[in-house]
Structure 1
Amino acid sequence: MNLHTIETGLFKLDGGAMFGVVPKSIWQKSNPADTNNMCTWAMRCLLIEDGDRLILIDTGIGNKQDEKFLSHYYLHGDDTLEKSLAAKGFSKEDITDVFLTHLHFDHCGGAIVREGEKLVPAFKQAHYWSNEKHWDWAVHPNDREKASFLKDNILPLQESGQLKFISDQEGVEFQQDFKVRFAFGHTDAMMLPQLTYKDHTIVYMADLLPSIGHIPLPYVMSYDMFPLQTLKEKKNFLEEAAANNYILYLEHDSINECCTVQQTEKGIRLKDTLKLADL
């Protein structure tokens, strides 16, 4: 198995929304905001090269939405999904599987592209993976979350015939050395890939832990549907991660690719930051 970091660009979200009840005077020390109170975030995907499979975890926001929609998120940076794949020697046609942690637009927008008047899968040869519980949640969204579940990103997957579901049983194996964890606080049945790689355990954190700035337990996003559930899931996971020296792969941290955590007198805190290339 080989792992490749895939950067898809940067965007901005409101700092207050990203840190919930934590005051700006505290969170801005790790995530400084601009004059509009917006902070910069990554949309970092992961490419897994394993035998005859090339698995892409999440796809970033894509570029098919209209200018008005994209203007709300201030897309910037030089990286794109296509450029990052090409830098690793691959193209979209090489991808065999697209594993979507959940169906919020900043995680699955790049899964679908616009060709003329049609919306079609960006990865023609790939199976797209979700789970039935989360899929049902996304296609029948609640009023608070529906702005994150765009039909343009979701329904074409089903119409294409390329959509597949995996079991929502905790610890289910997607393939060898690739297990799936589930979290239910941010959105229902979000999937977190857990990989065994070079004698390390690497967990792709999706939105359970967006950045190192979110390591302290109260730092829970206002975007989370069930923040007390997130708090419980985060506490249990971070204690496990500290005890076992897991490497946490950070999807939204614009500076830090991976980190480890440790138990301290103040609770779980950052231990080290690193890159996959360091392993």
Structure 2
Amino acid sequence: MKLYPIEAGNFKLDGGAMFGVVPKTIWNKTNPADGNNLIDLAARCLLIEDGKRLILIDTGMGDKQSEKFFGYYSLWGSHSIDNSLARHGFHRDDITDVFMTHLHFDHCGGSVRWNKDRTGYEPAFKNATFWSNEDHWQWAVHPNPREKASFLPENILPMQESGQLQFVNKPQNDFVSGSELGFGIFFADGHTDKMMLPQIHFKGMVICFMADLLPTAGHLPLPYVMGYDTRPLLTLPEKEKFLQAAAEHHYYLFLEHDAHNEIITVENTEKGVRLRDVYRCADIL
């Protein structure tokens, strides 16, 4: 097995929204804001090469939305999925599976693109199976008013219409130790219903893809919960459970949204679980 970081792009979001009730005087120390109160974020995906399978976890925002849409997110940098795949010797047509932690636009927008004449949409990975889970899919295609702006039909429905969509088996609890894709999955409901966090055994380590349970290293303290979470009081115990396990078992936490910290480990302290070490992907993968 080989793992590759795939940088799908960088953007910015309001720091207050990213840290919820935490005052700016505190979160600004770890995630400094610009003059518009925006903080740097990444869309860092992960590619798993395992035998004949090439599994891509999340796909970023993509590029099919309007200039006005992208203007809300202050895109920066030069990263793209295609360039990042090419850097590791791959093409999007090589991808056999696309695993979506959840269907918010910044995690799955790159799964669908315009067709050749821009009259409709098509899967951006023509040879891939797209993986979600049935509960989250229903949550996304029948969105609540709070999340409606994050679940865009053009990002979601073409995957099903193409016949390339499959569902991970419904969990009996919040953790599946094995799945159709060969890695463990932790299910979390605080950010959105049935978000899936892969846990990959790799060279004697456990690499955990943190999605939106831990957006950045600055979110480690338990109360540092995003304003975007639909059920913040569920996020708290989910986050506590996961971080305690990460500290106890020395998990390596792959941060999807942290533009400046790629992989971290954590440890128990008198103040709770806190940052232990920071690694570049090149140091670990």
Bin of the TM-score, shorter chain as denominator length: over 0.9
1:183 is the counterpart of 2:188: yes
Root mean square deviation, CA, Å: 0.9
What is aligned with 2:273? 268
1:23 is the counterpart of 2:23: yes
Q: Shift of residue 174 of structure 1?
A: 2.6
Q: Shift of residue 176 of structure 1?
A: 7.0
Written as runs of structure 1 = structure 2, the 5 A alignment for 1:87-102 is: 87-102=87-102
- 1:130 paired residue among 132, 145, 157: 132
C-alpha offsets along residues 21-70 of structure 1, whole Å, 9 cap, x if unaligned?
Answer: 00000100111111111111000000000000000000000010011111
CA distance in 1, matches of 2:178, 2:97: 15
Q: Shift of residue 275 of structure 1?
A: 2.6
Written as runs of structure 1 = structure 2, the 5 A alignment for 1:47-62 is: 47-62=47-62
- Residue identity (%): 61
Q: In structure 2, the residue corresponding to 1:181 is in which secondary structure?
A: strand
CA distance in 2, matches of 1:233, 1:83: 35
CA distance in 1, matches of 2:159, 2:127: 13
CA distance change for structure 1 residues 95 and 176 in 2, over 3 Å: closer, same or farther? closer
What is aligned with 1:10? 10
What is aligned with 2:170? 168
Q: Which runs of 5 or more structure 2 residues have no equivalent in the other structure? A: none
CA distance in 2, matches of 1:139, 1:240: 33
Q: In structure 2, the residue corresponding to 1:82 is in which secondary structure?
A: helix
Structure 2 residue identity aligned to 1:89 = G
1:149 is the counterpart of 2:151: yes
Q: Shift of residue 278 of structure 1?
A: 1.6
Q: Is the 8 A contact 1:201 1:246 kept in 2?
A: yes
CA distance in 1, matches of 2:144, 2:248: 37
What is aligned with 2:75? 75
1:216 is the counterpart of 2:218: no
C-alpha offsets along residues 95-153 of structure 1, whole Å, 9 cap, x if unaligned?
Answer: 00000000000000000001221100000000000000000000000001110000110
Q: Shift of residue 175 of structure 1?
A: 4.7
1:42 is the counterpart of 2:30: no
CA distance in 2, matches of 1:96, 1:172: 22
CA distance in 2, matches of 1:197, 1:238: 19
What is aligned with 2:120? 118
Structure 2 residue identity aligned to 1:265 = E
What is aligned with 1:86? 86
Structure 2 residue identity aligned to 1:112 = V
CA distance in 2, matches of 1:35, 1:276: 30
CA distance in 2, matches of 1:149, 1:23: 28
Q: Is the 8 A contact 1:105 1:148 kept in 2?
A: yes
CA distance change for structure 1 residues 261 and 90 in 2, over 3 Å: closer, same or farther? same
CA distance in 1, matches of 2:151, 2:181: 31
Q: Shift of residue 177 of structure 1?
A: 5.0
Aligned residues: 279
Q: Shift of residue 76 of structure 1?
A: 1.2
C-alpha offsets along residues 210-257 of structure 1, whole Å, 9 cap, x if unaligned?
Answer: 010000111000000000100110011101110000000000000011
Q: Is the 8 A contact 2:3 2:48 kept in 1?
A: yes
Structure 2 residue identity aligned to 1:86 = A
Worse-matched range after superposition: 250-259 or 164-173: 164-173
Q: Is the 8 A contact 2:169 2:179 kept in 1?
A: no
